[in-house]
Structure 1
């Protein structure tokens, strides 16, 4: 099992973005606020995950978050926080624009092929799906990624329905 000590003493990894790129820790995008995902979000994030388990398995595959314990979740969050610090991957808590309700998460990670230089994954709680929040989040993320981040060809999961962003 991975320990927090291992997280703090892991070998250096190649940064995902250039050193001179100022990675946003907090940002307001239309309809949402993003904050770097940290252990401070543990309880709210865990609640969002377990209340949306079927939805998340449909988006990301049958494995996660089945069987996720609070301890394993805290370890995962610590790892996301460390990756952010090391600039190898960036996880964000997605909050409602006008309040501190955690609606879901967004992840900006290295692309998994030579075709995509980044992969942007995102989700919202199951209870937010009927309102169209997931589609609005995807569109707002695509605009933000295009306007701010140094990527040429990001891939979005789930796929975007926006004509502005590339569909992959």
Structure 2
């Protein structure tokens, strides 16, 4: 995952705060989400191992404290505009359903890349495919990126990392 210290969006761009659909809300991931995020992550560990760049084994060994640190990092990077992590919450905010991340790309063909996941219990419903379609539409309509890569989805991780 990215950890750039340089903003990758124009300084005058107003970062979208929320994307809401009939089944979920995307909003900034914060430290206040740690309990719900941790529960979603640990119950989805098998699914998550294929989402992040290899050889990532995240979330193996993740503790509540380490998740809090990770969420603080994501929150600070969002505030600094160097990456954007959104939590995917049920509309009543009772459950974390997944996450979406936007990072700057160092690949010449892409100015950003996106990673996303939904909790393992929601995979059979097709929620991850609906989220992917919604995020692609949101990026096209509301974000300033010319080309966003979806490594592990539209391009293999091997090709992305080559």
Q: Where does residue 92 of structure 2 map in the other structure?
A: 99
Q: Helix, strand or coil: the match of 1:49?
A: helix
- Mapped to 1, the partners of 2:21 and 2:101 lie a distance apart of 15
Q: Where does residue 28 of structure 2 map in the other structure?
A: 36
Q: Where does residue 111 of structure 2 map in the other structure?
A: 117
Length-normalised TM-score, structure 1: 0.83
- Mapped to 2, the partners of 1:152 and 1:15 lie a distance apart of 16
Which portions of structure 1, spanning 4 or more consecutive aligned residues, are displaced by more than 4 angstroms? none
Q: Where does residue 151 of structure 1 map in the other structure?
A: 145
- Mapped to 2, the partners of 1:30 and 1:119 lie a distance apart of 25
Mapped pair 1:84 → 2:78? yes
- Mapped to 2, the partners of 1:89 and 1:151 lie a distance apart of 13
Instruction: Pick 1 or 2: higher relative contact order, CA cutoff 8 A, min separation 6.
Output: 2
Shift of 1:25: 2.1
Shift of 1:93: 0.3
**Alpha carbons of structure 1 residues 43 and 24: separation in structure 2 relative to 1, 3 Å:** same
Write out per-residue CA displacement over residues 17-53 of structure 1, whole angstroms, 9 at most, x where no aligned residue: 1011000122214642111000011000000000000
Aligned length: 149
Q: Where does residue 157 of structure 2 map in the other structure?
A: none
